[in-house]
Amino acid sequence: MTPSNEALANLLTEDRDFPPDPAFTEQANGTQELFAEADADRDAFWAKQARERITWSKDFDTVLDWSNAPFAQWFVGGELNAAYNCVDRHVEAGNGDRVAIHFVGEPGDTRDITYAELLTEVKKAANVLTSLGVNKGDRVAIYMPMLPETIVAMLACARIGAPHSVIFGGFSSDAIRSRVADADARVVITADGQNRRGKPAPLKAAVDEAVTGDSPVEHVLVVKRTGQDVAWDDQRDIWWDEALSKADAEHEAVPVDSEHPLFILYTSGTTGKPKGILHTTGGYLTQAAYTNSVVHDLHPESDVYWCTADVGWVTGHSYIVYGPMANGATQVMYEGTPDTPDQGRWWDIVQKYKVSILYTAPTAIRTYMKWGKEIPEKYDLTSLRLLGSVGEPINPEAWVWYREVIGGGKTPVVDTWWQTETGAIMISALPGVTTLKPGSAQAAIPGISVKVVDDAGQPVQKGQGGYLIIDQPWPSMLRGIWGDDERYKETYWSRWPDIYFAGDGAKLDDDGNIWVLGRVDDVMNVSGHRLSTTEIESSLVSHPKVAEAAVVGATDETTGQAVCAFVILRGDAQQEDGEDLVTELRNHVAKQISPIAKPRQVMIVAELPKTRSGKIMRRLLRDVAEHREVGDVTTLADSSVMDLIQQGMDDDK
Ligand code: 6R9
């Protein structure tokens, strides 16, 4: 469904803007010239990024081969090793003493790991994997919490040319089993458990269950984190520490072809089994390093960088592991939840390590809004100089709160749009260059070409809405769906010839800025008027008493669909009388957008159902709103949330 222009006319009439601070521009990695350079010759631009940012053991001869579209080959003929680029070369350049990871465990334990120390660990782990029979091209599954060993494991795989498949630590044994089978992984790396909300939680148990019976897995390497009791199979299971302590500390990184698979990462499709998104080495690493430099404005010698994502999500792959490490960053890695032991945990970490760049998701920002600004205000956050957002549209109100309360009213906030499939950031402001507009992802970064098109695939005019597409190949693009070329073509390339369809709706404003409206299936049709869930959610969040909102369209006999809103209140509003507040919120939306958008129902809830990557699962809320049995909840970060919401609904009846 294309969001109609009639509905879009009322949309997102955000008029605040924030021009760059000259002092920031002065030192920024991103420049206006990059746009001109990329426009003049896209291939030459990417070739320059690849040669300047990445060390190749053999130079490439062709920048892009698109003759077998949509299967791209980038930097053809080149050879490199991703782990060498992320670790060895920093040590060789004399930066071995630089801290790579400031690790903060949830119980309060900390560890600083330098690049030189990391190198030794990665080399040993590579030797261990080789001794277990893992060869170049073999797949390794990684089911780990947020630990430095998770990064070591990924880099050790890259070092021997074995593509990794990282599976979220929150997924069930069924999810592990199907992913391991799909990738035919012979080794799984896991941990005994993880610390969550002040308690050790089991992890290995899910792997044990997933590899029983008919399974390709021969060995399970187990990192000891919590020390809890675990079941043990002497033939199959190996303690990570014991194996590494015996391993040789010397290892030569294996050069691989630029197009050698680096990893597979499963992401859910609209239906059916998850898709194993395939990324290869040269193009992916180039764009991850480039975007981390120009969008996050990373200055590796002086910044302390913190991306709060889980490594099991693509954001963790590109912006904890490959991008920042290729650039030689010093970064924070935190094991646990933001409210353990208290709601100030993140800000305590920012203050302690003087974090200067923070990259997180709108859901986290809105959670902090809910908890109240008094919490971050207790900490010294003046070290922060750049804030980033990813994962969902960020409501203008949340954007402004982020900049004011966390960024002290001075930091640029970059809203970055991209996907597991795109591998790296595609749309974002360039800090120091772009005039920022809260709520808009703004424009394609230099080297990338995106458009908003109508049903016929034609670009829409300014002020209109349509589908977000990518019309030129890019270095970090997915190379396919593991084992399913047809599904790759069908899912992403079948709608219009040679055009990648991202699945998101978007609007162009009068200045040409892109407003991502969410997945196209998040569009509602109320009495023939098309409304975007994002628009109504943003309106609700702009109300001073609302911290977070999720809106769904529920079937309605008279209007086709009706707007149902689920709302979390900010800390100080939680005591208020429900009924008056609901009326107030419904009227607020009617006034801000139009009476058509006025929610039929507003439900005040304590939590919203979210995936581990922080995306609201509107499908489940639609089930609730339509009084259906709630569907599959296995990908929820916390599956008890749905019980709570349902109880609230029953109480309301
Ligand atoms: C990196 C990541 C991709 C989908 C994407 C879109 C949504 C991500 C966004 C955004 C609006 C942003 N999305 N960033 N929507 N503004 N800045 O999130 O990858 O988990 O594959 O999700 O997330 O709907 O299509 P992934």
* End-to-end alpha carbon distance in the chain: 33
Contact residues for 97 (Cβ-Cβ < 8 A; gap 6+): 114, 115, 116
Q: Does 1 have pLDDT greater than 60?
A: no
Nearest Cα residue to atom 2 of ligand 1: 419
Ligand 1 pocket: which of 442, 491, 516 to mutate (most atoms within 8 A of CB): 516
Cα 266 to ligand 1 centre (Å): 15
Residue 503 and residue 484: Cα distance in Å, rounded?
19
Tokens of 228: 């809890």
Please work out whether the CB of residue 360 comes within 6 Å of at least one atom of ligand 1: no
Secondary structure of residue 430 in the 3-state scheme: coil
- What pLDDT is recorded for position 4? 42
Ligand 1 pocket: which of 319, 416, 417 to mutate (most atoms within 8 A of CB): 417
Ligand 1 pocket: which of 267, 277, 390 to mutate (most atoms within 8 A of CB): 390
- What pLDDT is recorded for position 7? 40
Please work out whether the CB of residue 268 comes within 6 Å of at least one atom of ligand 1: no
Nearest Cα residue to atom 8 of ligand 1: 391
- Contact between 156 and 125 under an 8 Å Cβ cutoff? The reply is yes
Residue 300 and residue 327: Cα distance in Å, rounded?
7
Nearest Cα residue to atom 26 of ligand 1: 419
Ligand 1 atom with the shortest distance to the CA of 389: 17
Annotated binding site for Mg(2+): 541, 543, 546
Please work out whether the CB of residue 418 comes within 6 Å of at least one atom of ligand 1: yes
Q: Which value, to the nearest 10 degrees, does the dihedral of the CA atoms of residues 7, 8, 11, 16 take?
A: -160
pLDDT digits (tens, 9 = 90+) for 599-642: 999 988 888 888 777 788 888 888 888 887 766 666 666 767 77
Ligand 1 atom with the shortest distance to the CA of 418: 1
> Residue 527 CA to chain centroid, in angstroms?
35
Nearest Cα residue to atom 16 of ligand 1: 393
Residue 528: pLDDT band (50, 70, 90) is low
Please work out whether the CB of residue 441 comes within 6 Å of at least one atom of ligand 1: yes
Please work out whether the CB of residue 611 comes within 6 Å of at least one atom of ligand 1: no
- What pLDDT is recorded for position 15? 76
- Contact between 356 and 384 under an 8 Å Cβ cutoff? The reply is yes
Residue 143 and residue 335: Cα distance in Å, rounded?
14
Range name among 453-467, 472-486, 540-554, 565-579 with the lowest pLDDT average: 565-579
- Contact between 258 and 285 under an 8 Å Cβ cutoff? The reply is no
Please work out whether the CB of residue 392 comes within 6 Å of at least one atom of ligand 1: yes
Q: Please give the DSSP secondary-structure letter assigned to residue 296.
A: S
Please work out whether the CB of residue 355 comes within 6 Å of at least one atom of ligand 1: no
Cα 267 to ligand 1 centre (Å): 12
Range name among 290-304, 530-544, 586-600, 637-651 with the lowest pLDDT average: 637-651
- What pLDDT is recorded for position 525? 75
Nearest Cα residue to atom 23 of ligand 1: 391
Ligand 1 atom with the shortest distance to the CA of 394: 16
Range name among 409-413, 545-549, 619-623 with the lowest pLDDT average: 619-623
Please work out whether the CB of residue 266 comes within 6 Å of at least one atom of ligand 1: no
- What pLDDT is recorded for position 5? 41
Cα 440 to ligand 1 centre (Å): 13
Residue 95 and residue 116: Cα distance in Å, rounded?
8
Ligand 1 atom with the shortest distance to the CA of 503: 25
Contact residues for 606 (Cβ-Cβ < 8 A; gap 6+): 568, 644
Per-residue pLDDT averaged across 292-297, rounded?
98
User: Cis before residue 341, ω within 30 degrees of 0?
Assistant: yes
pLDDT digits (tens, 9 = 90+) for 104-143: 999 999 999 999 999 999 999 999 999 999 999 999 999 9
pLDDT digits (tens, 9 = 90+) for 446-502: 999 999 999 999 999 999 999 999 999 999 999 999 999 999 999 999 999 899 998
pLDDT digits (tens, 9 = 90+) for 337-396: 999 999 999 999 999 999 999 999 988 998 899 899 999 999 999 999 999 999 888 989
- Ranges of beta strands (E only) in 214-304 are 219-223, 237-239, 256-257, 261-267, 275-280
Ligand 1 atom with the shortest distance to the CA of 441: 17
- What pLDDT is recorded for position 501? 95
- What pLDDT is recorded for position 173? 86
pLDDT digits (tens, 9 = 90+) for 50-61: 999 999 999 999
Annotated binding site: 196-199, 315, 391-393, 415-420, 504, 519, 527, 530, 541, 543, 546
Q: Does 174 have pLDDT greater than 60?
A: yes
- Contact between 316 and 322 under an 8 Å Cβ cutoff? The reply is no
- What pLDDT is recorded for position 13? 59
- Contact between 299 and 279 under an 8 Å Cβ cutoff? The reply is no
- What pLDDT is recorded for position 636? 65
Tokens of 125: 């782990």
Annotated binding site for CoA: 196-199, 315, 527
Q: Does 530 have pLDDT greater than 70?
A: no
Please work out whether the CB of residue 314 comes within 6 Å of at least one atom of ligand 1: yes
- Contact between 163 and 137 under an 8 Å Cβ cutoff? The reply is yes
- What pLDDT is recorded for position 154? 98
- What pLDDT is recorded for position 526? 78
